[in-house]
Structure 1
Amino acid sequence: MKRPKEANEYRCTVEATVAIAGGKWKPLIIYHLLSGTKRFGELRKLIGGVTQRSLTLQLRELESHDIIYREVFAEVPPRVEYSLTEIGLTLYPVLDAMKIWGDNYLSWQKDKKTQS
């Protein structure tokens, strides 16, 4: 796994945001963790379509950037829970803006089809 870049290694702050919280699965992981702590299996079901390997890699990257916290419980079988850190919670307005934009875009697309 790549090491997280230092702050001065990004060309702009948007690049940092996309590198840390962007991609196909990370925004969905963060979105579902906004509602509270989740186990691996819960996240996989909520997201749908993500492989175990991809989800594991994305969770590790988010953890390496201190966006999520991974807690392992010493039980048999082991139980692992994921939650957002304090800095991870600050992504709420970003994800909320993305949701609003997505709602508006899908509505626009629907309206466009009915006008055709």
Structure 2
Amino acid sequence: IDANEEVFIPSDEIWVYDLEGGIWQVFHMSGEVPPSMSGTCGSSLGGNMYIFGGCDDGGQTNQMFCVDLTDGRYVWKKIIPLCGSAPSHRDKLSCWVYNGKWMICFGDGTMKFMYLTRLKAAGLNPRLM
């Protein structure tokens, strides 16, 4: 592997750190394992860890996954919205829990990519703007 080559770490393991004992432990995950990616956002709500977005070999995504952290089984589940539409594809975003709801915003997204693509198609140099 080239030192300058980006490598996505697999999503089929979770590392747990015991704050009192000072020990790291790895657990292997199963289920609908998210693709290996970077730039995801994760937050915990009700004993579940949720991740959204990120960038994999295919580019940015707007997929959402969760895993129950309380049962010790660590099984990924893909979340499909029941109604409405998901946010745009993005990575390197922010998320938090407020008032019992999981919220996301910001990030590098496809809207930025589409804007820059349109500028280049119009013969403009986005770096000069």
TM-score, with length taken from structure 1: 0.30
Higher-Rg member (1/2): 2
Between Structure 1 and Structure 2, which shows a larger proportion of helix residues?
Answer: 1
TM-score, with length taken from structure 2: 0.28
User: Which has the bigger relative contact order, CA under 8 A and spacing at least 6?
Assistant: 1
